[in-house]
Homo-oligomer: A and B are copies of this chain.
Amino acid sequence: MDIAEVAKRSGVSASTLRFYEEKGLIRSVGRRGLRRVFDANILEQLALIALGRASGFSLDEIAGMLGSKGQPNIDRELLISKSEELDKTIQKLTAMRDGLRHAAVCSAPSHMECPTFRRLLGLAASSAINGEGVKKISKKQRLIDYKITQGK
């Protein structure tokens, strides 16, 4: 397969494929002239990378998990710890979702007078203290989220 074919079948752009190769995440099996040639299993590898990304791994982390031949080489402890991280994220987002949901239907004249909203505020404030900012989930991510939760 040439790069365009892989791009079409995987949904990953050609420039991204070159970028991934440069980073060592994937490999082309050879060249035809200048042009890269990829093996069919590249699609599976790319799916694995997508999975990692969607689960919150960085490309560097993913690179560390991929064995030399593109077979996953993931230790189970790492999987457990990552799933625990995800779980904490989920719990936090759930609290936020419920807070927003409540605020939306709350009868208090202004959000500031709603105890639930203020509690949520306190939660957010206490996380800000201890010196760390927060990174948002992008619109792009939200779009993906939508597609994933729709299943296929």
Q: Which residues of A contact B (CB under 8 A)?
A: 9-13, 16, 43-44, 46-48, 50-51, 53-58, 71-72, 74, 76-77, 79-80, 82-83, 85-101, 103-105, 110-112, 120-138, 140-149, 151-152
Contacts and interface: CB of A to CB of B under 8 A. Distances in A.
Contacts of A44: 112, 121
A125 B80 contact: no
Contact of A134 (B93, B110, B144): B144
A96 B67 CA distance: 21
A130 B89 CA distance: 26
A51 to B, nearest CB: 4
Given A89-B137, A134-B50, A142-B89, A96 B55 contact: yes
A95 to B, nearest CB: 7
Given A72-B112, A89-B93, A93-B93, A144 B121 contact: no
B142 A88 contact: yes
19 contacts: A11-B131, A50-B127, A53-B136, A55-B100, A56-B137, A79-B103, A80-B104, A85-B142, A86-B97, A86-B100, A89-B93, A89-B141, A90-B90, A91-B145, A92-B148, A123-B152, A126-B148, A132-B143, A134-B141
A140 B145 contact: no
A112 B71 contact: yes
Contact of A105 (B11, B76, B82, B136): B76
